[in-house]
Amino acid sequence: MPTTLQANDPGAVQAAAQRLADGLLVGLPTETVYGVAADACHATAVQRIFEAKGRPSDHPLIVHIAAPIAPANTDDSAWGTAVAPFARNVPPFAWALMRAFWPGPLTLILPRQPEVAAVAAGGHPSVGLRCPAHPVAQAVLVAARAQGVLGVAAPSANRFGRISPTTAQHVAEEFAHLTDADLLILDGGACAVGIESTIVDATRSAPVLLRPGAITAEQVSAACGVAVVARDDDAPRSSGDLAAHYAPRAKLRLMTGPMLKTALQILGSDAQHIAVYARQPLRGTRKLPVRRMPNEPQAAAHELFAVLRELDAPGVRLIWVEEPPEGEAWDGVRDRLSRAARA
Ligand code: TXA
Ligand code: MG
């Protein structure tokens, strides 16, 4: 089993930074989800991530960077220094997005410095960069940088195709097949956002939304003054694009409220092996595992993956989920649920 340290234990952050500098893996809390991290410029270390996750090696990873020293009045030159080791030809709208949303739950796909982080980028000519806001992630990034680690590749800390982890316990469950020599996990509590970062392609003249998250397309357009354009076939592909992703073991089905109600009524007391995640209280669910979906999209995102893991219990064959409400604020939650339903 991997070892888990409380992130605020004395020496925990330093131990994690040392592991990264040694080319080993660290399970790291961020404000979105937990990541499984390695030195982005260390090809063997990055290869260990792909192996641990069972992820195809052409699926690019996000590189995480430390915030500049004085983030409160961070200007383009400070962000320039932070991203320069990895990215070049940064378009003006991307600087505006860094100023507006970094440190935070936004990943920018930028043209990659050709000699750098090729394995982490899955061989693509671009690189995904993110400056996470979580204080533990920042502390580890700063401590690792002091040891020469310029950036940390960290995909979500789940086996390929599975539900992303939002607690240290989830990470330990996902990587139970690894030893404590392979993986050190830092426990920084439950992730505040709960779904992965918004991904914006910034390799072309206008921003393209590749993955919805807590930061909406409308907020991206407003912050940089350039309208987000619809993705087309030239946009970089991402593994979050895969139809089958975020998969529980049970079959997940999305249904409208009335459909869910009718289906439960028809089954009556025969309803079994079913778990329910609904926005309304429902009759006929007394003997079933049931969770209520919060009315606020942020609250729903925060608990989504933990609820799916909880409902995906032994004996449950179907997870019936009521469709989230309309509206852009729900795009991230709707996206994760519809991919889970297609798995
Ligand atoms: O919130 C997050 O972004 C979390 C935390 C740990 O930071 N990380 C995360 O990583 O979700 P991952 O690997 O599970 O998802 C990253 C997504 C993938 O869909 C990947 O294909 C896409 O980002 N991506 C990364 N680099 C890319 C690139 N150069 N071009 C296109 N897509 C890229
Ligand atoms: Mg992932």
User: Is 37's pLDDT higher than 60?
Assistant: yes
85 pLDDT more than 60: yes
CA 158–ligand 2 middle distance (angstroms)? 7
Q: What is the pTM of this model?
A: 0.95
Query: Is the distance from CB of 93 to CB of 225 less than 8 angstroms?
Result: yes
Residue 197 Cβ contacting ligand 1 at under 6 Å: yes
Taking CA atoms only, the protein residue closest to ligand 1 atom 32 is 238
Digit-coded pLDDT (tens) for 193-205: 999 999 999 999 9
Q: Tell me if 144 CB under 6 Å of ligand 1.
A: no
Question: According to the model, what pLDDT value does residue 6 have?
Answer: 98
Which pLDDT value is given to residue 110?
Answer: 98
Nearest ligand 1 atom to alpha carbon 128? 26
Q: Is pLDDT at 77 greater than 90 in this prediction? A: no
Instruction: Decide whether any atom of ligand 1 lies within 6 Å of the 199 Cβ.
Output: yes
Among the bound ligands, name the one nearest to the CA of residue 34.
1
pLDDT band, residue 245 (cuts 50/70/90): confident
Mean pLDDT value across residues 271-284: 92
Ligand 1: atom nearest CA of 55 is 13
Predicted confidence at residue 70, as pLDDT, reads: 66
Nearest ligand to the CA of 61 is: 1
Mean pLDDT on 63-70? 90
Q: Rounded CA gap, 262 and 44, in Å?
A: 53
Pick the more confident residue, 189 or 74. Answer: 189
112 lines ligand 1 (CB under 6 A): no
Neighbours of ion ligand 2 (CB under 5 A): 156
pLDDT at residue 148 in the model = 96
DSSP string, 56-92: -TTSPPEEE-PPPS-GGG--HHHHHHHHTTTB-S--H
Mean pLDDT of 32-38: 98
Number of CB atoms found within 10 A of residue 52's CB: 23
Q: Is 35 in the pocket of ligand 1 (CB under 6 A)?
A: yes
pLDDT of residue 237: 62
Q: What is the mean pLDDT of residues 36-50?
A: 97
| 129: pLDDT strictly greater than 80 | yes
For the chain, the average pLDDT equals 94
pLDDT at 99 over 70: yes
Q: Which of 139, 142, 148 is nearest to 41 (CA)?
A: 148
pLDDT of residue 74: 63
pLDDT of residue 72: 52
pLDDT value of position 269: 87
The gap from C-alpha 95 to its chain's centroid, in whole angstroms, comes to 22
Average pLDDT of the residues in 247-273 = 93
Mean of pLDDT values over 138-158: 97
**Among 26, 58, 61, which residue has the most ligand 1 atoms within 8 Å of its CB, making it the best to mutate?**
61
Mean pLDDT confidence for 279-299:
93
| Whole-number pLDDT of residue 301 | 98
Question: Average pLDDT, stretch 295-311?
Answer: 98
Quick one: pLDDT at residue 244? 59
For the sheet containing 251-255, what is the strand order?
251-255, 318-322, 274-278, 290-292
Model pLDDT, residue 271: 87
Question: Alpha-carbon distance 163 to 157, whole Å?
Answer: 9
Q: Report, as an integer, the average pLDDT of 240-245.
A: 58
Report the alpha-carbon distance of residue 216 to residue 222 in Å, rounded. 10
Percent of the chain scored above 70 by pLDDT?
95
Residue 242 banded pLDDT, cuts 50, 70, 90: low
The residue among 328, 2, 12, 294 whose CA lies nearest residue 140 is 12
Q: Residue 136: its pLDDT value, please?
A: 98
